[in-house]
Chains A and B, each alone.
Chain A
């Protein structure tokens, strides 16, 4: 198994380690529910160094990205250096190859993408880049730490007082670099916070400094319950190469504003959009006890009408929640098949929770 630069930190914090995307990573450090609550109420940190960082530079980079990504990176120009954009990378069938964030930086664009898809992402990007003057560099020299929660930014400022002003001024979905360290105000939890990219050899010092200001180590278990409450997709579950953005709640990252922009998957996407009779993504709450899980069938009336694409127990709502893909319908309640029993569920608009607040009707 591969190890990230934070491996010793996990061992020293009594992590329960599991294999994830070929890496040894913490699933929790004792209780994923307690870690979840730390992020919703205070601050927690996640080693996400397994994710792939790809830097792209060269005179044609913007053109390559405008072809390859569903969202239009030319929008970043008006916001300036540091701005981030969430995108889907589509194939010719408008299926999602991966979801990723791209940053406009001083002399390059930076992509941060999923770990599970790293080989196919790199192969795809490299093959598309052949026709452009672009250098593709995988940054294996960098580690990533996500620090999330209402107190995340103020606590990082306590540990790094020399960048207090930049941290305080940092806008949502923007980033800056200071002393070779990259700070982005992005995240996968629905809370305020940062994703910090540092050289591998600085990882352990950063971890220790953040432990000293009482930021709680958090594992993959909490990461999943947090992102699901925040209504954020998980690649390989809520969408994959056979799923187009319209049916997994990602139509908002497909930018059609420039009719002259050609991007991979555009034609097929427009075809499907015209149909209107496609499935849609919806949030689900289980009324009563138990846990919703991926693959469970949703029944409306007497018909199987959809599937749970990812489910869990929500520590904030104290009941089970899920993201599902269902036939477009007008109903607000339905049933789910849990191990042979039909249990009542309610449909809600995502997200369930944002910035610690429960957004749905309880």
Chain B
């Protein structure tokens, strides 16, 4: 469920590093199960610079609106339009097709401050 390629914030956002300092950000399966059916997403704009721990958007379910925090700093190079138009993807596939933001990292060293998959699993038990 939580692959070793994923790192986490306590607030349940995940980040996966690909090559060339490109990373993907989303919310964890645990987060989507807490939220229930997701119905609305507010995401940052492409080109926007974001900093680690910034509030960069909102994930809203029928139950509650939850702020989205950034696990890293960098430039937003893409957002998942498919998820914006069909937010239920976050419930059905939060770790793959439910990705939210594609970012070019400005400080890769920040990733060391994040929680790894094993520790995250222990955190949510």
Genuine A/B complex: yes
A351 within 8 Å of B by Cβ? no
0 or 1 for each of B29-57: is its CB under 8 Å from A? (1 = yes):
00001001101101000000000000000
A312 within 8 Å of B by Cβ? yes
Given known contacts A221-B36, A313-B39, is B62 in contact with A31 (CB within 8 Å)? Answer: no
- With a cutoff of 8 Å between Cβ atoms, the chain B residues found around residue A31 in the complex are 37, 91
* B60, A221: Cβ atoms closer than 8 Å: no
| B40 CB, nearest partner CB in chain A, Å | 5
Q: How many residues of B contact A (CB 8 A)?
A: 12
A225 within 8 Å of B by Cβ? yes
| B80 CB, nearest partner CB in chain A, Å | 15
* A291, B62: Cβ atoms closer than 8 Å: yes
* B40, A221: Cβ atoms closer than 8 Å: no
A/B pair count, beta carbons within 8 Å: 32
0 or 1 for each of A310-349: is its CB under 8 Å from B? (1 = yes):
0011000000100000000000000000010000000000
Residue of B nearest to A291 (CB): B60
- With a cutoff of 8 Å between Cβ atoms, the chain B residues found around residue A313 in the complex are 37, 39-40, 62
* B39, A339: Cβ atoms closer than 8 Å: no
Query: A332 to B116, alpha carbons, bound, how many Å?
Result: 52
B88 within 8 Å of A by Cβ? yes
Residue of B nearest to A28 (CB): B36
Q: How many residues of A contact B (CB 8 A)?
A: 15
* B88, A221: Cβ atoms closer than 8 Å: no
* B37, A33: Cβ atoms closer than 8 Å: yes
A52 within 8 Å of B by Cβ? no
B65 within 8 Å of A by Cβ? yes
* A291, B91: Cβ atoms closer than 8 Å: no
- With a cutoff of 8 Å between Cβ atoms, the chain A residues found around residue B63 in the complex are 221
Query: A320 to B63, alpha carbons, bound, how many Å?
Result: 12
Interface residues of B in 53-107 (CB under 8 A from A): 60, 62-63, 65, 88, 91
A309 within 8 Å of B by Cβ? no
Interface residues of A in 253-308 (CB under 8 A from B): 289-291
- With a cutoff of 8 Å between Cβ atoms, the chain A residues found around residue B88 in the complex are 33
Residue of A nearest to B84 (CB): A289
Contact of A32 among B40, B60, B62 (CB under 8 A): B62
* B36, A32: Cβ atoms closer than 8 Å: yes
Query: A320 to B36, alpha carbons, bound, how many Å?
Result: 16
- With a cutoff of 8 Å between Cβ atoms, the chain A residues found around residue B91 in the complex are 31
0 or 1 for each of A231-260: is its CB under 8 Å from B? (1 = yes):
000000000000000000000000000000
Query: A107 to B63, alpha carbons, bound, how many Å?
Result: 43
Residue of B nearest to A30 (CB): B91
- With a cutoff of 8 Å between Cβ atoms, the chain A residues found around residue B42 in the complex are 289
Residue of B nearest to A225 (CB): B62
- With a cutoff of 8 Å between Cβ atoms, the chain B residues found around residue A312 in the complex are 62
Residue of B nearest to A224 (CB): B62
* B60, A290: Cβ atoms closer than 8 Å: yes
Interface residues of A in 56-71 (CB under 8 A from B): none
Extra 16 A-B pairs, beta carbons < 8 Å, given A27-B36, A221-B37, A313-B39: A16-B33, A28-B36, A31-B91, A32-B36, A32-B37, A32-B62, A33-B37, A225-B62, A289-B40, A291-B40, A291-B62, A312-B62, A313-B37, A313-B40, A313-B62, A339-B65
Interface residues of A (CB under 8 A from B): 16, 27-28, 31-33, 221, 225, 289-291, 312-313, 320, 339
Interface residues of B (CB under 8 A from A): 33, 36-37, 39-40, 42, 60, 62-63, 65, 88, 91
Q: Which 10 A-B pairs have the closest CB atoms?
A: A313-B39, A33-B37, A313-B62, A289-B40, A291-B60, A290-B40, A32-B37, A312-B62, A31-B37, A32-B36
